[in-house]
């Protein structure tokens, strides 16, 4: 009891030790400790180091050398695990560090409003049958709008890796339907090749091929250029200075995300909906991909996200709502579409 009382005093400075003796103190200390990742990480490090020390001392005469190696190995394993967890959860502190390093790349759109953006990559999928039509049906059933990041390679000739003429016409019609239903289209290049691995000439050709298709779907070059915002996501979500400069030159905002369930592999399909349900938060940018299992993920996750009081919409809608919120908080009372919100928290679709 004395030990736990001292521990409680250290964890609850300035507060009386919970009454009721040892067990209540144990429970209070345990709840507090388990709620802190720093405490859990420290405990894990101590356990790993202690275990390594005992084993090293037991089975070798060179205990000091083996102990040092064991401690270093344990720390490396622990660091690797923490990095994996951080990457999977896209922790806000890690995203913030990247934002400070490359501020022009958007990972999230900060807001206190219960709003987030849904983005869907690899539209339409070339390697396997696309789920675009079913995805649009599910979005409509749940009254959710999304930003669809288009890969324009489907509209190339078959000899160049594109689709047959009939399939090309079908997916163009589906993209036109998406725009008519309030979704917006973004540039995801021509084919699913890592942008960072391309030469400058290859990237420029891929980027401009998609830009030309999006302009055509928007009703022409002028209509596309006149849009308040255009969004670009490099294939494989990696970039260099040339990629950012090319996007900036054509008026695109480069965007990644901070809520990605790693759904490109079907192995994660049973985890994707629970991940989204728990990880979507105000200002989040969600990525899912056009895959055979995506309709099931959306069908399960969208109603649960709505039950949490969160509204999903396009990137432009989220950005406009955040801008309006910032103006309102700064005392800017100007009227107009840029400073007013609709009843569901989002501004209407931007044409």
| 303-323 residue pLDDT tens | 999 999 999 999 999 999 999
Q: Tokens 């990742």: give the residue.
A: 37
Q: What is the DSSP letter of 111?
A: -
Angle at 231 between CA 228 and CA 235, to 5 degrees: 170
Mean of the pLDDT values across residues 12-26? 46
154: domain range?
104-339
Of 65, 92, 119, at which residue does a domain stop?
Answer: 92
CA dist., res. 351 & res. 348, Å (int): 9
121/234 Cα distance (integer angstroms): 10
- State pTM to two decimals: 0.73
* Reported confidence tier of residue 2, pLDDT bands at 50, 70, 90: low
CA 52 to chain centre: 37
| Cβ(162)–Cβ(168) below 8 Å | yes
Verify that 272 and 179 share a domain, yes or no.
Answer: yes
Residue 82 sits in the same domain as residue 120 = no
Q: What is the pLDDT of residues 284-301, one digit of tens each?
A: 999 999 999 999 999 999
∠ Cα 270 116 118 (to 5°): 55
pLDDT digits (tens, 9 = 90+) for 169-209: 999 999 999 999 999 999 999 999 999 999 999 999 999 99
d(CA 228, CA 239): 23
Q: In the listed set 92, 119, 144, which residue is the last one of a domain according to the structure?
A: 92
Task: Name the band, by pLDDT with cuts 50, 70 and 90, for residue 128.
Answer: confident
Q: What is the CATH number of the domain that holds 206?
A: 3.20.20.370
The answer to whether position 347 is within a domain reads no
Q: Which token pair is 288?
A: 């899912």
pLDDT confidence tier of residue 338, bands split at 50, 70 and 90: very low
Pick the more confident residue, 144 or 344. Answer: 144
Question: 238 Cβ partners below 8 Å, 6+ apart?
Answer: 194, 195, 196
257 and 160 together in one domain: yes
Count of all residues that appear for the chain in the document = 351
pLDDT band at 347 (very low <50, low <70, confident <90, very high): very low
For residues 255 and 270, give the distance between their C-alpha atoms in angstroms, rounded to a whole number: 27
CB 182 within 8 A of CB 222: no
| 346 is a domain residue | no
């Amino acid at each position: 009891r004395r030990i736990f009382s001292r521990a409680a005093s250290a964890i609850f400075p300035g507060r009386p030790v919970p009454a009721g003796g040892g067990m209540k103190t144990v429970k209070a200390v345990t709840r507090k400790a388990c709620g802190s990742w720093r405490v859990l990480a420290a405990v894990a490090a101590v356990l790993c180091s202690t275990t390594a020390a005992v084993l090293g001392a037991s089975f070798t005469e060179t205990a000091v050398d083996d102990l040092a190696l064991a401690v270093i190995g344990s720390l490396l394993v622990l660091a690797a695990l923490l990095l994996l967890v951080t990457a999977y959860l896209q922790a806000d502190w890690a995203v913030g560090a990247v934002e400070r390093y490359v501020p022009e790349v958007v990972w999230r759109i900060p807001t206190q409003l219960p709003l987030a953006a849904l983005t869907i990559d690899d539209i339409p999928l070339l390697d396997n049958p696309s789920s675009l039509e079913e995805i649009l049906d599910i979005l409509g059933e749940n009254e959710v709008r999304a930003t669809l990041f288009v890969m324009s390679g489907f509209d190339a000739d078959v000899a160049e890796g594109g689709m047959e003429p009939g399939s090309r016409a079908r997916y163009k019609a589906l993209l036109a339907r998406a725009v008519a239903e309030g979704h917006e289209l973004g540039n995801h290049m021509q084919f699913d090749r890592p942008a960072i691995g391309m030469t400058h000439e290859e990237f420029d050709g891929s980027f401009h091929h998609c830009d030309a298709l999006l302009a055509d779907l928007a009703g022409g070059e002028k209509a596309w250029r006149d849009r308040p915002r255009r969004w670009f996501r490099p294939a494989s979500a990696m970039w260099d200075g040339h990629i950012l400069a090319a996007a900036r030159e054509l008026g695109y905002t480069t965007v990644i995300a901070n809520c990605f369930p790693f759904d490109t592999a079907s192995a994660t399909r049973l985890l994707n909906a629970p991940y989204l349900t728990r990880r979507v938060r105000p200002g989040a940018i969600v990525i899912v991909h056009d895959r055979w299992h995506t309709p099931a993920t959306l069908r399960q996750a969208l109603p649960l996200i709505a039950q949490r009081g969160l509204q999903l919409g396009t990137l432009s809608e989220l950005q406009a709502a955040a801008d309006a919120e910032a103006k309102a908080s700064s005392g800017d009372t100007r009227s107009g579409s840029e400073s007013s919100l609709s009843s569901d928290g989002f501004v209407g679709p931007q044409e």
